[in-house]
Amino acid sequence: MEDALVMPFMLGCLGLAFPRFVLVLVWLFGGGYIGRAFDTVLWPILGFFFLPLTTLAFVYGMNSLGGPGQMTPLGWVLVGLAAVSDLGLLGNGERGRRHRRRGD
């Protein structure tokens, strides 16, 4: 693999396991990568707390797949898959909490 492809690939794999950690890394070292995808700082903050994988997918789609400020259809597919993953993780956490509460 080319050296230029190794770091984004590793960051993407890490993002699947720890999306909030990767969002912080991209914010710290990305040079405005997140800021270019959003008009206001409110959306990335809300995304960090509620839908971190979706936020990462949106940032990637806005910056790397289309032209400046444009989202391609592939980008929207990635955002949709990330949203389903985020919502599935939230649902599984709630089900586990209820399971522990009942003592089953």
Predicted model pTM: 0.77
Statement: residue 104 has pLDDT above 70:
no
User: What's the pLDDT at 32?
Assistant: 86
For residue 103, the 8-state DSSP code is T
CB atoms within 10 A of CB 15: 22
Please tell me the distance from the alpha carbon of residue 33 to that of residue 73, in angstroms, as a whole number.
20
User: What's the pLDDT at 16?
Assistant: 81
